[in-house]
Structures are given as C-alpha cells and as structure tokens.
Amino acid sequence: MTGHSRDELRGRQAASVLSETGDGTGVIHAKNGDAIAVRLRCADTPHGKVAAFAPVPRIDQIEQLKNELVGTVSHELKTPLAAIKAYTATLRDNPALYEDRRTEYLAIVEEQADRLSRLIEDLLLVTRVEGPQLLRRRIAVGLNEVIERAMAGVRLDPALHHIERPARNVMLSGDPDRLCDVFRNLLENAAKYSPDGGPIEIRAKETADRVVVEIADRGAGISKDDLPYIFDRFYRADSDLTRKTGGSGLGLSIVQALVRAHGGTVEARGRAGGGTVFAVTLPVRA
C-alpha cells in the first residue's frame, strides 16, 4: 500500500508512513505522495506495537453500492407492499367475504409484512456488518440454544419441513445474537429453497480447536455456475424459484461477514441426491 519496498521501510519511524487520525482511522503516506485513508486498529504487545489497517472504500465504490442497494431494496419493498395494499383493499371493499377467504387474505398480508420486516432487519445488519462493533461480546454458548432462538424467527410449515437437531449440544464461542442471525438466515434459506419440503438436518462435528456446524437440505440445490457467487452481496441465482420466493440477495453476504468476524469460515456444497449443505466452521475459543 505504501509503495515502499521492505528495505526502504526497515528502520524508519512508523509515523513516517502511517499516522493515526483518531476514532479508528488513519492515513498511509505513500511513496508517490498519496495519502490513503485506512481503518486502523493498534495494540500493544510484549513484542512491540501492532497496527492492523485496511483501506476505507473509495467514494465511487460507496456510490455504486448505494445505487445497487436502492435498486434492490425499492423493488423488494414494492412487491410485498403492493400485495398488502391489494389484499387489504379487497378485505375493506368486501365485508361479506366468506370467513375462510378472509383468513386466507389476512395470512397473505401477514406473510408479506414478515417479508418486509426481514428485509429491514437484513438492511440494518448490513450497515452494521461494515462497522467495528459487529460483535458486541464473545462468550461460550451452546449450539442448541442458538438454534432454538434462530428457529423462533423462521416461519416453517411443519407439514413440509422437519428439523433434525444435532445429537449433542456442542459449545460455541461468540456473540449469541450474531450467531443467531447466522443460523436464522441459513435455516430460512434451507426452508425457502426446498419448496417441496424435506428434512433439514443440523449436524455438528468437533475437533480440538474448531466446531463445524452443517445445515443440510433436500431442496432445489445450487448450480455449479452459481456456487462461486452466492456469498456476494445482492447475488441471487436466476431461477423460477428465486423469482417466486423473493429476497434481497443480502442474507448470505451477512452470514459470511458475521462468521468471518468470529474467525470462522462458511462454505456451500451440493449434495448427492439433491439439496445443499452449508458448513459453518467456528473456532472453539476466541
């Protein structure tokens, strides 16, 4: 980033290439005279001072992201709102509707309102994902507890989906709220992308320093062409199913950012016989 070679830097004062500007930010003074804005974290260690930094996204990248966000979000807001308006108008204008019709229309209104609130939750998370305060605390928490909480936020049709929980309650280390976001998103996708139903299996494997939690569904699967991109922001596979289900394409990018903030990884793979497996690997200790 500085444009200097290692030898040019050796023996120089750190402050000649990197200065702190406060509030977790700093500036790199590059060899060619450029001042590069960075996010900066410093720590004192027994061996000296350690500074970790990353470039702050450039304005044009932020501008592009903003445009993408506004485009996707306005589409995703309009669709459920249009349905809510249409069904409430029908209910208002037809007081004599049969009871079962009224119930059906109200269920649609509720479902679309849920879709809106999930989108808003995702948007709030995505703004936080970039900030330094992503993980508020890091404690030991049982996987089963996280899964129970995550499940409370997922709408499942028991006639279609049956959740198989891990046999043993393994311990995870992390921010329970954010881990809950991770598994809520993965479970929601497992249900959403298996419209014909099928079991959703949650498996946990422990090694000395890691826990691997797998969420496996028997759904539509992800094509080889889409697999490399599904964790990208706004990426959605181009299929009838994704068009029908709706979504912002933000969920998996949030999952990945949260898992990485914990020092872990997340991967997706296809399943013999159809379906998808998401494997979340987390360190056992912070």
CA dihedral sign of residues 90, 159, 278, 173: positive
What would the DSSP string read from start to end of 205-231? EE-SSEEEEEEE--SS---TTTGGGTT
Q: Which of 129, 220, 257, 258 binds ligand ADP (CB under 6 A)?
A: 220
CB-based contacts of 138, cutoff 8 Å, min separation 6: 173, 174, 175, 286
Segment interacting with ligand ADP (CB under 6 A) among 11-19, 139-147, 167-175, 240-248:
240-248
Nearer to ligand ADP, 148 or 232 (CB): 232
- Binding ligand ADP by CB under 6 A: which of 2, 144, 169, 242? 242
Q: Which of residues 154-193 bind ligand ADP (CB under 6 A)?
A: 189-190, 193
CA distance 120 to 109: 17
Of 273, 136, 110, the closest CA to residue 199 belongs to 273
Nearest to 175, CA basis, from 147, 139, 127: 139
Q: Which helix (H) or strand (E) holds 13?
A: none
Residue 251 makes contact with ligand ADP by CB under 6 A: yes
Measured at CB, which residue is nearest to ligand ADP? Answer: 247
* Overall residue count recorded for the chain in this entry: 286
12/269 with CB nearer ligand ADP:
269
Q: Which of 84, 247, 259, 264 binds ligand ADP (CB under 6 A)?
A: 247
Give the binding range for ligand ADP (CB under 6 A) out of 16-24, 62-70, 129-137, 216-224.
216-224
Whether 231 and 266 have beta carbons less than 8 Å apart is answered as: yes
Contact between 230 and ligand ADP per CB under 6 A:
yes
- Write down the least CB distance from residue 202 to ligand ADP, Å: 13
- Residues interacting with ligand ADP, by CB under 6 A? 189-190, 193, 217, 219-222, 230, 235-237, 242, 247-253, 276
